[in-house]
Every structure is written in C-alpha cells, then in structure tokens.
A and B are shown apart, each in its own frame.
Chain A
Amino acid sequence: MQRRVIFSQKGLPYLLIAPQLVVTLVFFFWPGAQAVYMSLLQQDAFGASVQFVGLANFEYVFADEGYVDAFRRTLGFALAVTVLAMVPALWLAVMADRVLKGSTFYTTAMLVPYAIAPAVAGVLWLFMFNPSIGVLAWWLKALGVDWNPVLDGTDAMVLVVLASAWKQVAYNFLFFLAGLQAIPKSLLEAAAIDGARPLRRFWTIVFPLLSPTTFFLLVVGLVYAFFDTFGVISAVTQGGPATATETLVYKVYKDGVHNLDLGSSAAQSVVLMVIVVALTMVQFRFVERRVHYG
C-alpha cells in the first residue's frame, strides 16, 4: 500500500489530494447521505411540510406491488442481458483465438459497439424494430410474427434486452479473448495427445480455466444491466408500454424527477445503493485472478 522511501512534506499531500476529496465529498457523499436521510422523511411535492417517518418509506416501497414487480423484472432483464451478451462473446472469442490471419481486424471490428452510448444503441435498435417502418419489424411481419413493441410489453422487453446485450458483447469478447490467450497451449496439446476430443477439451480444460473471467464478466454484466442500461430504456421505451420495461433505475428516475415522490424515490435509491455495494464487494472479494491481454 505504501512505499518504503517517501517524501516528508506535511502540507503538500493534502493539497494534492484536495481536489479529488472535495469533488468526492460534495458530489458523492453529501448527496449519498442526503438520499439516506430523505428516505427517512416524508414530504409533499412542494416541500411545504416535512416529517420524520422512520422506515415507513421502505415499508411503503416494498408493500408496493409495482416495486416488487420492477424488482423481479429487473432481475430477469439483467440475467437475460448478461447471458445473451456472454454466450455469443465467448463463442466469438474462441473463434478469434483460433484464426491466424486477420485477428486484429476481427477484434477491432468487434470492439466498436463498446464506443456506442447505450442511448444511441437503443435508438439504432428502435429504428430497426419500429413496428410501422423498421426493416426487421417488416421481416418479422412477413414471417407472420405479430410484432409491436409499442403496444406489447413482451416485445418491448425483447427489444431493450437485444439492444442492451448487443452493446455489451464487445466488452465480454475482449475479456474472453484475453483469458483464452492466457491458457498455455501445451495443456491442450497434452490433452489432445491423450486422446481428448475437441469438445471434451473445451469443457474440461478451456472452460474451467476461463471461469475467473466468466465470473468477473457475470458481475460486470449485472452491474451494466442494472445501472448502465438506463439510456437504452429511456431512449427506446421510457419504461413502457405501461411499466413493462421499467427497471429499478428507471423507476427511481421516474418517481423522483417526474412524479416528485421524493421519499419513495430516496428509499428506492438506498435499496439500489445496497445492491451496488453488494455487487462491488462480490467483485473485489471473489474476483482475484485477473486476465492479461497481449
């Protein structure tokens, strides 16, 4: 954590660390504390009356069927996005690990969606699947699929899952590829000499050796699906139709910014904080081995 040889100035380190600490305290910890404090208060939308209500906001939030539904929906959404972004990424990474020519080209092309903002990814998919003019919506209809994400909740959910996963494949691909390149070839050759078939080699050698990467990407993927997909949902469905695609983060935003239900929004924020803390702790506690690239 600290070096053996250090400088002895007394005031200078405080000066160096001050900018970061000021921003951290003013824009992170103060609002974070405010969220916790506000979650214990009840106030009307105009701020005219405020009273301390203890955990009533939390009771209210968890008694609200809408919130419990949103919780379940978010879990399903997060799992769908994470798995859908990991499976193709693993397959593509295994393929990219095998090619001799053009791997730089493939990798670069595959990484581009990482650069695209979630909201922008959402707009791209919204356009393709627009029920009246979208290219892919037209094909779906030609195939006899009754597709309308504007009216049908399931269709809308499928659309935001696809857009969110599409963007995240790039990230998973990169880390899987790095993990694959770190596996010593001699292991696979030894197994091949012993007569292990390719499929068996994949499941008994490659996949277990990749498991730290897989677990790491699972956690990162869940964090992404929980928090970073706000842009996708905001651009594509605004949580609708009705509440069919409303995730927890979108609901906090809607209840706070649009419905001005501050107590409930604050209590929801605190619940989200607990989720972030848990996911971050899992990430730092259990994900020890890192991958190396190139």
Chain B
Amino acid sequence: MSSIAKDIVAPVVAGRGAAGPDGRRLAWFPHLVLWIGIAVTAFPLYIAFVASTLTAPDVAQAPMPVLPGGHGIDNYRKILLQGMQGTYLSPPVWQMMWNSLVMALVITAGKIVVSILSAYAIVFFSFPGRMLAFWLIFLTLMLPVEVRIMPTYEVVSDLGLINTMTGLTLPLIASATGTLLFRQFFLTIPDELVEAARIDGAGPMRFFKDVVLPLSATNIAALSVILFIYGWNQYLWPLLITTDNRLDTIVVGITKMIGTGDATTDWPQVMGTTLLAVVPPALVVVLMRRWFVKGLVDSEK
C-alpha cells in the first residue's frame, strides 16, 4: 500500500478515543474527515437553497452566485400558494405536500395496523393455514412493485382506483417487514403474562389492547418513522396511478416541473419545491433520530 494510503487508513484504529491504544495523537483528524463528509452531504442541499432564493436569470448566468439572494420569501410564497408558473403549470405546492402527507400517513398507519394484527394472529393463535399465511406474507418481500408494474396497474385500474388516494395507498399497505418485526417481538412476551390474563378472564382482544399494544409502543414508534419516510418518498407507484395532477405528490410534482431540465426550466421554483420535499422527512430523521435508528436496524432483522 502506498504511504499516502497508509496515512489515510492508519488513524482509523489508532486510539478509538482517549482510552484507546494510541492515545490522542491526531485527535483532530476524524473531525476533519467527518466535516468533509458532512460538507459533501450538505452541499447539494445548500446549492438548492441558494438557488431557491435567486431569480431565474440569476441562476441561468453561469456560474450562479454562491450566496443566498433576496428572493427567497417571494419564491416560496409563490410556489406554495400558486404552484409553478411558466411553461408548466403545477398545482400549488402546499397541495402536493398535503397529498404526500396524507399518502405517507395512510401508508404508515395502514402498514402498522395490518402487520401488527397479522403478527398477533400468527403468534398467539393456532389455526389451520397459519404457516401458509405466514409464508405468503413473507414472500411479498420478493415481489416489489418494480417487478410487477403492468399487471398491478391493471388490477388497480379494474378496481376503478386510478387517480384515487385509495389506489395510491391501499396496494402498498401489506408489510412483510412489519409483520416479521412484530412477530419477533411478540415471541419475547413472557408466557406468564398470557396466562395471567387468561386467569383474570381477559379474552384475546382485551389482552391485545391492554398488554400487547402498550408493550409494542416502542416498536410502533420506531417502525412509524421508517414507514413515514418510505411513504413520503414513493415515486414509481404514484407516477403510475395518478394522471390527474391534483393528486400529484410533491416528489412526482418536482419531476414534472423539470420538463426537459435545461436552462429554460425555472430552477429557483424547482429548487424551492425540492427543498420543501426534503424538509418533512429530514425533520423526522433529525428530531426522532433514536426511533429512526432503532427502526432502521430492527426492520432489517
């Protein structure tokens, strides 16, 4: 390995903090690397922010300014309330954000309800077809939308669900991941709790409501964070199912705004909308970091 590469990799395990083998030599180095990482992470978002505060001619002159301009409030007010103006007329961005929010929340709630109930059935009951049901649910992992685009579209169209919020959300609320997660957790609930509940005369639904649901709160919270992001970020499915742009979600709306993506695109409006599409899920990650991390790690088990 070259000496440069050595210098780069060497501090990797040197130390691991003050108590580590090599003490504090080069203590600043990890910070430097992490700041570079954050800079690369944040740069595209910063440029988008700057563009959203400029006018279209400002952006069109290459290179565009690197500091924010004074048109931010004006741009955001325009896109939020009126939508994109110019060659492509979009619905107001608040409406697209509302669509995304409803879609994300319905998918989140739907997936959680549907998967917690089926996990409860699979773990706490014995019935013919139980294993078959479990495997059917498990196998949906192997059938993402991407591999069954046309026939799924046909089904939704036959059911008359094209251009409806139901069509947008219902087909996505099966959740193998959620079912596996809750099943895993239910298996750890002590038998004593179930027996105690039975002795006290509690039926299965009472037990579910008073014991299982409260115990699952942490898992529900963690999974909700992941599912909200999943729902908000849907792209292929809304693209297929909605032709009426009043139902556009913000992610789909942006790609329609770009058009041909050349210099004639009104970039300040597009970049403003892009940031508005990033802010809600990013806030969820930042504000609920602990749940998010737990959900992400758990849902891969």
**Which residues in A have some Cβ–Cβ distance to B below 8 Å?**
1-10, 12-14, 16-17, 19-21, 23-32, 34-35, 38, 88, 91-92, 94-100, 102, 104, 106-121, 123-128, 130, 132-135, 138-139, 150, 166, 169-171, 174-175, 178, 185, 188-189, 191-193, 197-199, 201-202, 205-206, 216, 220, 227, 230-231, 234-235, 249, 252-253, 256-257, 262, 265-266, 269, 272-273, 276-277, 280, 290-294
Contact = CB atoms under 8 A, between A and B. Distances in A.
A111 B289 contact: yes
A256 B37 contact: no
Interface in B34-77: 34, 37-38, 40-45, 47-48, 51, 59-64, 66
Nearest to B45: A124
A125 to B, nearest CB: 6
B222 to A, nearest CB: 11
Given A20-B114, A280-B142, A132 B13 contact: no
B126 interface: yes
A24 B293 contact: no
27 contacts: A5-B191, A6-B125, A6-B194, A12-B204, A20-B114, A21-B137, A28-B148, A31-B154, A92-B33, A92-B34, A96-B30, A109-B41, A112-B41, A114-B229, A115-B282, A117-B234, A117-B277, A119-B251, A123-B254, A127-B270, A128-B43, A128-B47, A170-B41, A174-B293, A198-B22, A227-B147, A231-B251
Contacts of B284: 115
B211 interface: no
Contacts of A104: 289
A253 B149 contact: yes
A109 to B, nearest CB: 5
Interface in B80-127: 113-115, 117-118, 120-127
A185 B19 contact: yes
B214 interface: no
A220 B300 contact: yes
B9 interface: yes
A109 B137 contact: no
- Per DSSP, chain B at the interface is helix
B146 interface: yes
A98 B38 CA distance: 16
A199 B13 CA distance: 7
Interface residues of B, number: 124
B51 A127 contact: yes
Interface of B: 1, 6, 9-22, 29-31, 33-34, 37-38, 40-45, 47-48, 51, 59-64, 66, 113-115, 117-118, 120-127, 130, 133, 136-137, 139-144, 146-156, 170-171, 173-175, 179, 186-187, 191, 194-195, 198, 203-205, 207, 229, 232-236, 239-240, 251-252, 254-255, 258, 261-263, 267, 270-271, 274, 277-278, 281-282, 284-286, 289, 292-294, 296-297, 300-301
A2 B278 CA distance: 42
A292 to B, nearest CB: 8
Nearest to A88: B37
Given A113-B41, A133-B64, 7 more contacts: A12-B205, A20-B117, A20-B137, A133-B59, A235-B254, A252-B147, A293-B297
A16 B121 contact: yes
A116 B278 contact: yes
Nearest to A100: B17
Given A34-B151, A109-B42, A132 B235 contact: no
B104 to A, nearest CB: 11
Given A138-B63, A188-B16, A235-B255, A290 B301 contact: yes
Nearest to A138: B63
